[in-house]
Amino acid sequence: MHSCSRTTLSTGLKRKGTPRLVSSVLHEDYPGKFVTPAPKEIICLVQGKVGVHVSYSTAFREKRLAVSDVRGCLEESYGIFIFVHVKEGFQAMRKVIIVDSTFLKTKYGGALVFATAQDPAHHHYPIAFAVIDGEKEDSWTWFFNTLKTIIPDSKELRDEVAAKFREIAVIYTVAEFEVQYQDFRMSYPKAAAYLDEFAEVKKWAKCYFPGLKYNIDTSNVLESMNAVFKDARKYALLPMIDAIVKKFAEWFNKHRKEAVAGTYTQKLVPFVENLIHKRCEVACKLPVTELNTFQLEYIVIGRDGKTCVVDLRHKSCSCRYFDLDKYPCVHAIAAAMNLLQQEGRTAEVSDLYDLCTKYYLVELWILGYVRRIYLVPHKSEWTVPTDEQEFQEQGDMSSQDEGGSEDESDCVGSQDEGGSEDEGDGVDSQDEH
């Protein structure tokens, strides 16, 4: 349909598009989406649909405004704290919480903070994430205080140098650690001096860690999370949060199906079940000597010739694998096999499953994903607490008193001028926790 008026044709003047005209075209062609064409493509789109020319700056500004109309302005999203419904689910997780942050690639900067756990099948288990204005003491204090409202404190709670550091950090026994760390100290004296001065050994060495760290590698978990959301960090804040929550929803649905896919006879999560099965093949060939029948203590000689003392009653072995991982090592399995073959044995250990922590049971794995993650509605449907509304109103009044409101274009997040269509798949729907 030809839309040019006779006046325009006769005078030869070019009509120029208003910002709102551009925004309305985008809402019509890309309803509810925050991934829209690049500014140059928007210019052609508006020209083709309504026959109006718009400048590059107008197209770029209204590209961001369209996002703001759907998801709110950028400043509103700092200090956002989002958590998945983990009160029931976290009960099924090993009590290790991994917290780290990564810088945002938006106009106003800031940082994205993750708090995650790891389910017994070694999947990411998101607990909470937040957007803060930077890695400052006040921001970290706010994050951890808010995190404690949903997860209270608990007692359970790349180069050659780095590769060697990771290797010694996961050693199970103090004796072996001291030998390996001495070698590390001689080979890399500057790295060792740094660790001695700035990092307590109990904070990075598994054998000295005072709590229960199980077999979770905290650094690898966060590096993986940062890689997953590498592209999302380039979005404006609220679209970025939508992308993160959408991914969490996908994970929950996927792992929920995995958790219920096993047979009714399967008691342990597949990872631990398969590992114990492999260890049984070795354990059945190890020599076992009974030390104390009543205390369930045994001596087991491993394939490496080392002698280990196993205490089945306290679920402990001198190799320390049993103590830290909380499922039986090959020596404990050998001792348990010896016990289970005896007549009139104690009822404390009826099978190998009794030697595993409850966090590796399938029934708790299922509990971790019993809750669902729902879509976030349009901001017009949000329920904002009264005190928050009053706070925003006071802020608006203060801004007007100081010299008027900000330019509308400053209230939205920036994206690369080249557009975000090449940065990965867009998110068409928004998810809630």
With a pLDDT cut of 90, the percent of the chain lying above it is 14
Q: Decide if 415 is inside a domain.
A: no
Q: Is 294 exposed, middle or buried (0-12, 13-18, 19+ CB in 10 A)?
A: exposed
pLDDT at residue 129, as a whole number? 84
Are 277 and 348 in the same domain?
Answer: yes
pLDDT in tens, 313-363: 989 999 988 988 889 999 999 999 999 888 776 677 888 999 998 889 998
Task: Give the separation between CA 372 and CA 255, rounded to whole angstroms.
Answer: 12
Alpha-carbon Rg for the chain in angstroms = 29
Is the pLDDT at 297 greater than 90, yes or no?
yes
pLDDT in tens, 11-22: 444 556 666 677
Q: Decide if 55 is inside a domain.
A: yes
**Which has the closest alpha carbon to 126: 251, 234, 257, 271?**
251
Domain boundary among 330, 355, 380: 355
- Structurally, the chain folds into a number of domains equal to 3
3-state DSSP helix/strand/coil % of the chain, to nearest 5: 50, 10, 40
**Which has the closest alpha carbon to 60: 19, 32, 27, 107?**
19
**125-146: b or e for each residue (b if 16 or more CB lie within 10 Å)?**
bbbbbbbbeeeeeebbeebeee
Are 274 and 204 in the same domain?
Answer: no
Average of per-residue pLDDT across 361-379? 83
pLDDT in tens, 54-100: 777 776 666 666 555 555 454 455 556 666 656 667 877 877 788 88
Q: Decide if 241 is inside a domain.
A: no
Helices (H), 201-356: 218-228, 237-259, 270-283, 321-325, 330-340
**Which has the closest alpha carbon to 169: 124, 219, 125?**
219
Domain membership of residue 168 as a residue range: 160-208
Residue 204: pLDDT band by 50, 70, 90 thresholds? confident
Residue 376: pLDDT band by 50, 70, 90 thresholds? confident
Is the pLDDT at 42 greater than 70, yes or no?
yes
Domain boundary among 302, 326, 355: 355
pLDDT at residue 100, as a whole number? 80
Q: Decide if 287 is inside a domain.
A: yes
Task: Give the separation between CA 194 and CA 188, rounded to whole angstroms.
Answer: 10
Domain boundary among 355, 387, 402: 355
Average of per-residue pLDDT across 407-423? 40
Q: Decide if 361 is inside a domain.
A: no
| Dihedral angle, C-alpha 245, 432, 61, 69, nearest 10 ° | 170
pTM of the model: 0.52
Q: Decide if 316 is inside a domain.
A: yes
Q: Is 316 exposed, middle or buried (0-12, 13-18, 19+ CB in 10 A)?
A: middle
The mean-pLDDT minimum among 175-184, 258-267, 415-424 falls in 415-424
DSSP 340-379: HTSTT--TT-SSGGGGS-GGGBHHHHHHHT-S-------G
Are 280 and 203 in the same domain?
Answer: no
Q: Decide if 186 is inside a domain.
A: yes
Are 274 and 347 in the same domain?
Answer: yes
Q: Decide if 282 is inside a domain.
A: yes
Distances (CA, A) of 169 to 115, 165, 201, 219: 22, 6, 9, 11
Query: Which one is predicted more confidently, 179 or 203?
Result: 179
- 3-state SS, residue 216: coil
